[in-house]
Amino acid sequence: MTDGLTLTRRRLERNEEAELDKGDVLVFNPSVTSNGGLSEAFRIFVNPSTLTKPPAIRRRPGVPVPEESTTVMLFQPTTDPVGPDVATNDDEHNTFAAFFGPHDRRNGLVTPTNNPDMEVTEPGVLSAAMYASEQTPLDAPLHFLSTNNILSNLIFDSTPLWEAKGWIGVPLAQFVKPFMNRLRQRARQDASGPSPQTFHKANPPARVIDPRFELTGAKLSSLTQALAYRGIIEQHKAPQRRQTEENLAAAKTHMQTPQMRSTIWMSTRHKDFSRPFAVFLWKIMHGGLKCGAYWNRIQGYEDRAMCSHCGAIESIQHILFECEAAGQSLIWSLVRTIWEKKGIKWPSLSATDILTLGLTTWVDQKGRVRQGATRLWRVLISEAVHLIWKLRCDRVIGHAEDEQWEHRETLVWNKLQFTLNSRLALDVEAVKRKYGGSALKRDLVLATWNKVLRDEPALPMDWTAYTGFLVGRTPALRVDLEPD
């Protein structure tokens, strides 16, 4: 490239060292080059239509005119207090603004999606940036300002990795790729940095991709077997959507009161769940766990749909509640023992109860929500379910060569004890004053574990300040797994 836009080594270093909080900017490098061996340069899963177009050479820039330099502020009017006032309706929480300056006719509002289930922040920022770049001549320098690092992280950190992997498994691809395509067509340096009024509603950006600036396919050197496999699945557009719809419908019917789809989705990320469990629940919702019917969709792997221990179809329901391999039934009987100490009857459970776990509440005789019991329920059930799943994977994948291999009961017992005590210890840590406003309420923690701790009468009234986790201290602060 002779147009002076490809970044020199010094400039690339400056990007590496840039500290956005201190007002540095990152400069976009529009060139796609490959160094190294052949596998760096070969790409697979390439979109055939891009092959028929000649490789792109950027337009020759004219004489740089500093006054043409444009700065655009990107922000979300309903949540970003820094931006100029923008009149939006309450329901427009998914609206993003591109602000060129007071009374600038290019100021615009962009809604990235009408899908209420979609996380909008990144698509929103990208759509606003795309809109802004469409409003700016291709050869005028463009600066993006925002209150966060979302755009710079996406363009400078994530995109190179995603491009190397051919965008396989990247839901944001539909938003990032058109924007990258547009940036590469530009003949001026663009920069992104953090920031220190009238808007019209813009048409959504067209997201048209010029095939000559399009980099498709995955670098051979970045392709693992797992990634190649996902690429094949994506190329076949495996219909997981139907499973998601079925699960959502089942969750809706299961709840006694009507629930919105977005409420059900939100509940899968309940703050009482560990992060790994939330991810696991999200995968159940999408039918994305590698078990049961998942394998029926993949030619040559249909036998994996069966439970290797029982020979039944290995559905989530089977793994969590029916499988005869050591694990699930012992865990449920222990969890039931703990729950009944709370003085509440153990209900019968099915996989749908797990889908709606974040929405389930326990009430007293006057119909008031029992906060402590409800929280204990979420913690107990989520941890039990996740442990059962982890034990199953350990057995099926870790000991695949021996179909009759099972966990020892003492190991299952110890793992559950360890898991629940870890949650208890996390709670004790979370009430500490050093976390200020985000500290978990002491009363809620006490109410959560009340009646289910070992030697509870011997513990101080406020045991959250008690250092009973120290070895050798009696009584020890522990969840009681023994029956009364």
Is 188 a binding residue for Zn ion by CB under 5 A? The answer is: no
C-beta of residue 268 within 8 angstroms of C-beta of residue 281: yes
CB of 388 to Zn ion, least distance (A): 11
Which one of residues 1, 44, 310, 465 is an interface residue with Zn ion (CB under 5 A)? 310
Decide whether 323 or 479 has the Cβ nearer to Zn ion: 323
Strands 218-219, 43-44: pairing kind: antiparallel
Decide whether 126 or 388 has the Cβ nearer to Zn ion: 388
Is 168 a binding residue for Zn ion by CB under 5 A? The answer is: no
Segment contacting Zn ion (CB under 5 A): 81-89, 210-218, 310-318, 461-469?
Answer: 310-318
Which one of residues 309, 341, 378, 423 is an interface residue with Zn ion (CB under 5 A)? 309
CB of 312 to Zn ion, least distance (A): 6
Helices (H) and strands (E) in the chain, counts: 17, 9
Decide whether 323 or 384 has the Cβ nearer to Zn ion: 323
Decide whether 219 or 309 has the Cβ nearer to Zn ion: 309
Beta bridge partners of 453: 479
Is 218 a binding residue for Zn ion by CB under 5 A? The answer is: no
Decide whether 198 or 333 has the Cβ nearer to Zn ion: 333
C-beta of residue 204 within 8 angstroms of C-beta of residue 110: yes
Q: DSSP states of 192-211 as a string?
A: EEE-----EEPPPP-----G
Segment contacting Zn ion (CB under 5 A): 84-92, 141-149, 316-324, 354-362?
Answer: 316-324
Considering only residues 37 to 66 of the shown chain, the ones binding Zn ion according to CB under 5 A are none
CB of 330 to Zn ion, least distance (A): 14
DSSP state for residue 56 in the 8-state scheme: P
Which one of residues 74, 183, 307, 424 is an interface residue with Zn ion (CB under 5 A)? 307
In 114-221, the DSSP E strands lie at: 142-146, 190-194, 200-201, 218-219
Task: Name the nearest CA neighbour of 137 among 62, 202, 199, 29.
Answer: 62
Is 326 a binding residue for Zn ion by CB under 5 A? The answer is: no
Q: One-letter amino acid identity for 55?
A: P
Is 403 a binding residue for Zn ion by CB under 5 A? The answer is: no
Segment contacting Zn ion (CB under 5 A): 69-77, 270-278, 303-311, 395-403?
Answer: 303-311
CB of 244 to Zn ion, least distance (A): 25
Segment contacting Zn ion (CB under 5 A): 126-134, 138-146, 232-240, 307-315?
Answer: 307-315
Q: How far apart are CA 268 and CA 259, in angstroms?
A: 13
Is 392 a binding residue for Zn ion by CB under 5 A? The answer is: no
Residue 166 has phi, psi (to 5 degrees) of: 65, 25
Is 249 a binding residue for Zn ion by CB under 5 A? The answer is: no
Residue 362, judged by CB atoms within 10 A of its CB (0-12, 13-18, 19+), counts as middle
Is 323 a binding residue for Zn ion by CB under 5 A? The answer is: yes
Segment contacting Zn ion (CB under 5 A): 75-83, 134-142, 308-316, 347-355?
Answer: 308-316
Is 342 a binding residue for Zn ion by CB under 5 A? The answer is: no
Q: How far apart are CA 460 and CA 466, in angstroms?
A: 7
CB of 318 to Zn ion, least distance (A): 6
Is 426 a binding residue for Zn ion by CB under 5 A? The answer is: no
C-beta of residue 173 within 8 angstroms of C-beta of residue 124: no
Distances (CA, A) of 125 to 55, 82, 275: 29, 15, 25
**In this structure, how many other beta carbons lie within 10 angstroms of the beta carbon of residue 108?**
23
C-beta of residue 45 within 8 angstroms of C-beta of residue 170: no
CB of 313 to Zn ion, least distance (A): 10
Is 1 a binding residue for Zn ion by CB under 5 A? The answer is: no
HSE value, Cβ hemisphere, 13 Å, CA-based, for 476: 9
The site that binds Zn ion (CB under 5 A) totals a number of residues, namely 4
C-beta of residue 109 within 8 angstroms of C-beta of residue 200: yes
DSSP state for residue 200 in the 8-state scheme: E
Q: Please report, as ranges, the residues that interact with Zn ion according to CB under 5 A.
A: 307, 309-310, 323
